[in-house]
A and B are shown apart, each in its own frame.
Chain A
């Protein structure tokens, strides 16, 4: 699939803050950038700096305190909720369904969509992520790295336009983290999905085409290929 696409998520001057002990704490403000399908973005920074909040805003899971998040397709602006079915998530805790084996975990998105080839496609994806020999294993019988591979396959099996990953290697050892990072980027690249990931891992962040760093109350693009601005 071509890396170029006319689908993108646009954040216009979004800001987020929360109230604690009657004090309002601003995480970031006036943040504007676009997430294009087919490109990869990494959000880094220390804990509590607002990385996960930005992920949730960008994916439409939360409403921004200020500004707006929209979906743009061929120049037509639509609410972000319109692409909910085109977004997949990958989590630090994997969140596989413990009662299903690997094959059925991966097949879940297709089954929910009524795809009769669900199991066959899921099997292909498990082979692609190197788990062709673990089809019938339940999550409890898999290592952390294997579970995250299953989660990546599950997130991509329905060909989403965008993948949002929250510290996908946070629970893995260094070797597994490297393998998962390579796999994640390769899969997104192959399927032409936009990838937004939150991570503490420099190795993972460096593989992204765009890197947004939160630090000491500020955020900045480490590569400014798109020329986006950031204020925190």
Chain B
């Protein structure tokens, strides 16, 4: 390219920019680009937030748990199969202070902890938590809030464990690898590995947890290795993404599909303007050819002019999209706590480039039309018309590509696009009918109205595109508003509607009354309240559990301990019956149960199997009459085994409750009083923080 083409293109661009149709074109392009860039930026912010949230929930990509330390070779293998590796040691012990004692999980870490996420600590129980920068120093211990309450100690008090004096330096609120420990709700204490080693626990009592950063192939390799080489170990891994990430991905795809409306409108506007552009560009190229230049020079000028237009759009789009991004993130942060706005130039530029590619396809008919530019048209003084099929093909190509990119669900795609097609067809039909009826009804009167309706009907094609433009604008506006409202409500409901922000995992009747009173006092609302009693499965079809279930599984391991048995006559709202028949209200035959489907599969249970549970001091026989599964949307408290209400008349065992409450977060500060009044609540109340329980 010689240097003068660019100034020439710039001059033409500036002249074009003064024209009304070009401004309309630029406005359309800007709108389209702002939508694409904003959607991409917002999506990335949410995905990053959820990724971070996931890291805080899980603390690692995979965790290998083993009683006793792994051998040097095994440790080397883990290092080889991961991109990062740390380990923690823990054991259950009893901590005492004065006349108080509590069973705790004592965990030893070093400076490398945590691998992912952040440990949240505070300087006192009522203080605001912050992210820890290091592990506990040697000579220090961090206690969780309930443990501190249970032992009646505070920060700066001292505890002695196995003869080692330790200063309570912080209250620990959140450990990122807690969920991977299997949702246990033990009271917790963290010490430095150096102190832990001096306590002299024997290795076979210590549980070692190796936390790894690993990708999917590495995790797969790890799982195979563990099954073959280290069956005594247990591997947990994250298996994909955060559930909300998938939810957001679907939302993004839906918004992307909705953008087809915007593209459709843009296609109409750009098509109309491109007819003027084609005449202009053809004329320019023909003039260039009339002074000895080639057709290619005309094309080059046209392309440079378009590129200049894109370059001018970029800062404008970036500024508007950044503002929109900030606004949306600010709005979403009410639902997704700690979601913060951060500028991302690279992502914006990438999204803008993708948008520019779409605009280039829309511009293609203009460039292709230059093939027909000729000096002859200047001599004969007629324009060369471009076939509309090229413009139509370009628009359809763009719509198909966008649909393909954002489509992850055939049914959803068909529903969204189908509703749009119906909408467009309705707009066209209503327009045509209105004009026809208008003409018929006003025929008998003279004047401009029948003439105007007649003329509009004659020019139906061009008028209908204008009518559709206006109609689709209104549709898009309403659609976007409704979509944003629904999206906000759905996301909010997902997190809060059923579970609230306070979780009671275990409380007896008296404690539950106290919780009720506290909630009432704080203006909280009870979201769920489910009674249960402890029961231990001892025999299945006249066989012991060990004899019956030979295949090791997490369900089997859990069933070897006492489990929580719920009673209800109605199928819980967060369950649905997979198999069998749920009992009627107050059935005469009370010895029937429903077992969770996954447990049935793991243990190898079938409908009609007879199970004997130890409930309190009684051995009670139940028959499986149904199996149920968890159904999202009705709260997260669910039970593996459920029985009819009438059964509790025949069972003698303490009743407990699980519950969830939605309450003002300011009321969390008064939780300490509740704990102080009821220190025997074993695994009492958890405030939800960032979705981590």
Binding site for B on A (CB under 8 A): 52, 55-56, 59, 61-62, 84-89, 91-93, 95, 97, 99-100, 104, 108-109, 111-116, 118, 154-155, 157-158, 160, 166
Contacts and interface: CB of A to CB of B under 8 A. Distances in A.
A89 B374 CA distance: 12
6 contacts: A52-B380, A59-B375, A87-B292, A92-B381, A97-B287, A112-B293
B287 A115 contact: no
Given A84-B292, A85-B294, A112-B297, A56 B379 contact: yes
Nearest to B4: A111
Interface stretch (B10-18, B63-71, B660-668): B10-18
A56 B286 CA distance: 14
B291 A88 contact: yes
A100 B283 CA distance: 14
Contacts of A59: 375
B293 A109 contact: yes
Q: How many B residues touch the partner, as a band?
A: 20 to 34
A62 B292 contact: no
A112 B4 CA distance: 7
Contacts of A115: 4
B8 A111 contact: yes
A97 B294 CA distance: 17
Nearest to A89: B290
Closest 4 CB pairs of A and B: A114-B2, A99-B15, A109-B291, A89-B290
Contacts of B2: 113-114
B378 A93 contact: yes
Contact of A114 (B3, B290, B375, B379): B3
Contact of A108 (B287, B374, B381): B287
A89 B4 contact: no
A111 B287 CA distance: 13
B208 interface: no
A104 B100 CA distance: 95
B288 interface: yes
B23 interface: no
A114 B16 CA distance: 22
Contact of B291 (A62, A99, A112): A112
A170 B123 CA distance: 95
B292 A116 contact: no
Interface string B1-38: 01111011001100110000000000000000000000
B1 to A, nearest CB: 9
A104 B11 contact: yes
Contacts of B11: 99-100, 104
A114 B5 CA distance: 7
Contacts of B7: 111
A140 B14 CA distance: 18
A214 B529 CA distance: 104
A138 B498 CA distance: 71
B615 to A, nearest CB: 91
B75 to A, nearest CB: 69
Interface string B364-405: 000000000011101111000000000000000000000000
B376 A88 contact: no
Contacts of A116: 3-4
A42 B225 CA distance: 94
Contacts of B292: 84-88, 109, 158, 160
Given A97-B287, A114-B2, 19 more contacts: A52-B380, A62-B376, A85-B293, A88-B290, A95-B283, A95-B287, A108-B287, A108-B291, A109-B291, A109-B292, A111-B4, A111-B5, A112-B4, A113-B2, A116-B3, A118-B4, A154-B291, A158-B291, A158-B292
Contacts of A61: 374-376, 379
A93 B293 contact: no
A81 to B, nearest CB: 11
A223 B573 CA distance: 105
B284 interface: yes
Contacts of B8: 108, 111-112
B291 A93 contact: no
A166 B374 CA distance: 15
A111 B16 CA distance: 19
Contacts of B374: 61
Contacts of A114: 2-5
Given A85-B294, A116-B4, A154-B291, A93 B381 contact: yes
A97 B16 CA distance: 12
B650 to A, nearest CB: 94
Contact of A155 (B15, B284, B291, B294): B291
Nearest to A138: B15
A109 B544 CA distance: 98
Contacts of B289: 84
Nearest to A95: B378
A157 B291 CA distance: 9
Contacts of B12: 99
B386 to A, nearest CB: 20
Contacts of B293: 85, 109, 112-113
Nearest to B290: A89
A118 to B, nearest CB: 7
B196 to A, nearest CB: 78
A118 B15 CA distance: 20
Nearest to B14: A99
Contacts of B290: 88-89, 91, 95, 155
B4 A166 contact: no
A97 B11 CA distance: 12
A86 B291 CA distance: 8
B608 to A, nearest CB: 87
A158 B297 CA distance: 16
Contacts of A104: 11
Nearest to B292: A85
A166 B379 CA distance: 7
